[in-house]
Amino acid sequence: MKLAATAQDHLTVHTVPVPDPGDLIARLPHPTALAWIRHGDGIVGWGEAARITLPATPAPFPADRFTAAARALRHLFDTADVHDPLALPGTGPVAFGSFGFDPTTTDSVLIVPRRVLGRRDGTAWLTTIGDTAEPPTPATPLRTPTRLHWTDGALPEHAWKHAVATAVDRIRHGHLGKVVLARDLTAHADTPIDTRVLLHRLARRYPACYTFSCDGLVGATPELLIRRTGDHIESLVLAGTTARGADTTDDHTRAARLFTSAKDREEHRYAADMVRDALTPLCHDLTIPDEPTLLTLPNLTHLASPVHGRLTDHHTVLDVVAALHPTPAVCGTPTTTALDLIRELEGMNRGRYAGPTGWIDARGDGEWGIALRCADIHGTRARLFAGCGIVADSDPAAELAEANTKFRVMQDALHS
pLDDT, tens digit, 9 for 90 and up, residues 343-366: 999 999 999 999 999 999 999 999
| pLDDT tens sequence across 319-333 | 999 999 998 889 999
pLDDT of res. 60: 53
Gyration radius (Cα) of the chain, Å? 21
Q: How far is CA 186 from CA 86, 149, 197, 382, 410, in A?
A: 43, 8, 18, 6, 11
User: How do the domains of the chain map onto residue ranges?
Assistant: 2-133+150-415
178 tagged catalytic: yes
CB contact set of 117 (below 8 Å; sequence gap of 6+): 18, 21, 24, 27, 43, 44, 45, 124, 125, 126, 127
pLDDT of res. 64: 83
Question: Which residues are paired to 211 by β-bridges?
Answer: 37, 220
CB 372 within 8 A of CB 354: yes
In order, the DSSP letters of 8-39 are -SS-EEEEEE----S-TGGG--SSS-EEEEET
CB 365 within 8 A of CB 228: yes
Among the options 161, 178, 263, 266, which is catalytic?
Answer: 178
Task: Note the CATH number of domain 2-133+150-415.
Answer: 3.60.120.10
Residues of the chain with pLDDT under 70: 1-9, 58-63
pTM given for the model: 0.93
Among the options 223, 346, 367, 399, which is catalytic?
Answer: 223
b/e burial code for range 131-153 (CB count within 10 A of at least 16 → b): eeeeeeeeeeeeeebeeeeeeeb
In 47-171, where do the E strands start and end?
50-53, 81-83, 94-98, 109-112, 115-120, 123-129, 149-152
